Amino acid sequence: LRAELTEVKPLYKPLAEHGRVTFYPLLLVSLLAFIVPLITSRFKHMEVPTVVGEVIIGIIIGRSGLQLIHYDSWLQFLAEFGFAYLMFLAGLEVDFSLLATSHNPDRRCGRWHNPILLAFCTFPITLLLAFGVSKALVAMGLLERPWMMTLVLSTTSLGLVVPTLKERGLTRSHYGQSILISAFVADLITMFLITIVAALLSRGLTFDILLGLLIVGAFFAALRVGQVLTHSRALGALFTELAHATAQIRVRGCLALMLAFVALSERLGTEVILGAFLAGVLISLFAEREGSELLAKLEAIGYGFFIPIFFIMVGARFDLQALIASRQGLLLMPLLLIAAFAVKIGAALPFRCIATWRDTISAGILLSARLSLIIAAAEIGMRIGLISETINAAIVLVALVTCIASPVAFNRLYRAHGRRRRGVLIVGASELGVLLAQRLQRQNIPVVLLEANHSRADAMKRAGLQVVTGNGCTEEGLRSANVENVHAIVAATGSDETNEMICHLAGQLGIPDRIALIRDSHRMEGLRAIGVHPVTPALATVFVLEGLVTRPATFDLLTRCYEKEIAEVALTNPNYFNRLMREVQLPGDVLVLSVNREGEIIIPHGGTKLQAGDILTLIGTEEAVREAQAMLSDEQ
């Protein structure tokens, strides 16, 4: 990417003349970065990611469009820093608590539930498919050698995968983490291979190639230092004291660490993506994840300023004339576009072990997005004579098409699947489990009981409940109860260990809501840390008594509620995305009590803007609430 940026010839007179520097280009880009989200939010049905809008607006105002903005030293630095910062935030998104896999030998495909193993399975398939496509292009006379094109087709765009998953609220899910790690592995290994190929062809086998491994050593050294420093109470108290107001010591430290790794990568001759990502991983290992003020500040710095500049300038630099002037490029472009999707969708087939066919194809489509690294790889290939200027222009256009089409197609396909999850699975036909199933059934909520004991299961069937006989501690048992269709699972067996194991497995299968009946209160914090809602019967009883004593009227409303119904609904209808509450006409007497947005409880008012995935708590008559649920979830 650095080579691509620095070798662009300006199409305009310098902006810094006679020692004076103008802020006009930066002002224009900043205004566009502000306007783009306002525009993309209007495309409710297409669900265009913000980064795609930034690339498009860059093309419109850049060298292939109105030529209102061009590259200067200011924007070159800010765009490069935005790219590095994007990789830094990508490292922050890696949640290592989701990388552990269960070692249950009875599970099908159990080993592939680890996102790291899944990523290292998909990448070799990517290389093989890309090499096959490249050999075919050589046979057709469109390429001379297959090696560089193999690596070009093996790339993906971590910079597009991260914000797309983030906008969908998937970065903390097992499915999202698997895509994220697969994208990183593809970019990281491809980057190393491109660097090695370019070095071997240009300089031969030298000691400089091995210097790139030093940054990995620096990562583990910094990890060890961080582990030592985290045990210092005095240092922790000092950082807490200086974490606010003008000091912001934690933000300063994170930025210094990122720049240290970026500078080290540059010094060693490797790409900044590696150093920036490793710095983000270091912060992710030590920072709190849920509700972290530090992570929120770091994201605001990146997505609020630097990262939009990078994406806008990618579009501004695209040269359409180079492609139009070449017939070979026009013939090669559609073939490369088809290959770009076919390679990644084929390589995503191992995702079937953790997801449905629809989600597997969705993952392949999102991983087909390519942008910065493929452009840099094409430039390197052209410099060493493996890729012509014509092929380079075709690759750049393929990158722009995939970076626009892939996120949009992913959002459309994945959203359609998300609406199918409606039921509840209760594992264990205990007294509490059966009572809960009966109450849910009376509310017309689809509920299935999973019980291993045949005689107990038969008794529940005679009582009018839907029961499946199977072992809830295995993937096979959960799938026998159609776990793919449920939005919540309740582990209600008589064993805390079993309930915890069931919730771990349910998380790996992508079930959004997991509830565990736990009698040992010491297990509760550990379960909350992985997104499980633990319920202790003794504490639940105390909560009921406390509610009756301190808030009797409110508690009576929630528990008895006679003619009123209280229910929740996930906002999945795109017609209401980014709409103000005052603009939404709910049926009957329905009111919205609260909005749950990624764990944050919002008390709504007329100016509250609804977002995709919001959990709305409704109150009203039963008929009106059911109608509102169908309207907001697009199930009418």
What sign results for the dihedral spanned by CA atoms 197, 199, 205, 206?
A: negative
More confident residue, 560 or 462: 462
316 contacts 297 by C-beta, under 8 angstroms: no
pLDDT at 55 over 70: yes
**pLDDT for position 109:** 42
Q: How far apart are CA 566 and CA 31, in angstroms?
A: 43
Q: Return the CA Rg of the chain.
A: 27
More confident residue, 183 or 215: 183
**Mean per-residue pLDDT for 271-276?**
74
pLDDT tier at 343 (50, 70, 90 boundaries)? very high
Q: How far apart are CA 305 and CA 85, in angstroms?
A: 10
More confident residue, 196 or 492: 492
**Mean per-residue pLDDT for 566-575?**
80
**pLDDT for position 344:** 92
pLDDT at 8 over 50: no
Contacts (Cβ under 8 Å, ≥6 apart) of 129: 153, 342, 343, 346, 347
More confident residue, 547 or 467: 467
**pLDDT for position 460:** 79
**pLDDT for position 103:** 38
Lowest mean pLDDT segment, chosen from 31-35, 421-425, 604-608? 421-425
Dihedral of the alpha carbons of 108, 114, 118, 119, in degrees to the nearest 10: 180
Beta bridge partners of 468: 450
Q: Describe the chain by its helix, strand, coil percentages, rounded to 5.
A: 60, 10, 30
pLDDT at 456 over 70: yes
399 contacts 314 by C-beta, under 8 angstroms: no
Q: How many residues does the chain have?
A: 636
Mean pLDDT of the chain: 76
561 contacts 571 by C-beta, under 8 angstroms: no
Question: Among residues 195, 196, 246, 210, which one has the least CA distance to residue 2?
Answer: 195
Q: How far apart are CA 115 and CA 180, in angstroms?
A: 9
* Structure-block tokens of residue 612: 């995709």
386 contacts 322 by C-beta, under 8 angstroms: no
**pLDDT for position 419:** 44
Report strand pairing: 513-517 vs 565-570: unpaired
62 contacts 318 by C-beta, under 8 angstroms: yes
Percentage above 90 pLDDT, the chain:
3
**pLDDT for position 483:** 72
Question: Among residues 525, 437, 537, 446, which one has the least CA distance to residue 494?
Answer: 537
Q: State which of 10-14, 126-130, 164-168, 566-570 shows the largest mean pLDDT.
A: 126-130
**Mean per-residue pLDDT for 267-273?**
71
**pLDDT for position 162:** 74
* pTM (2 d.p.): 0.57
The angle formed by the CA atoms of residues 420, 616 and 356, to the nearest 5 degrees, is: 20
User: Which domains does the chain carry?
Assistant: 2-98+116-205+303-418 (1.20.1530.20), 423-550 (3.40.50.720), 561-632 (3.30.70.1450)
Report strand pairing: 447-451 vs 467-469: parallel
**Mean per-residue pLDDT for 52-78?**
78
Q: How far apart are CA 227 and CA 180, in angstroms?
A: 25
423 contacts 432 by C-beta, under 8 angstroms: no
Question: Among residues 173, 27, 78, which one has the least CA distance to residue 512?
Answer: 173
More confident residue, 93 or 108: 93
**pLDDT for position 10:** 43
Beta bridge partners of 596: 601, 615
pLDDT tier at 173 (50, 70, 90 boundaries)? low
* Structure-block tokens of residue 479: 């799938």
**pLDDT for position 128:** 93
**pLDDT for position 572:** 78
- The values of phi and psi at residue 207, to 5°, are -70, -20
pLDDT tier at 297 (50, 70, 90 boundaries)? confident
pLDDT at 521 over 90: no
**pLDDT for position 46:** 56
**pLDDT for position 376:** 67
**pLDDT for position 121:** 87
pLDDT at 231 over 80: no
**Mean per-residue pLDDT for 606-629?**
82
pLDDT tier at 47 (50, 70, 90 boundaries)? low
pLDDT tier at 201 (50, 70, 90 boundaries)? low
Report strand pairing: 532-535 vs 565-570: unpaired
Question: Which ranges constitute the DSSP H helices of 551-595?
Answer: 552-559
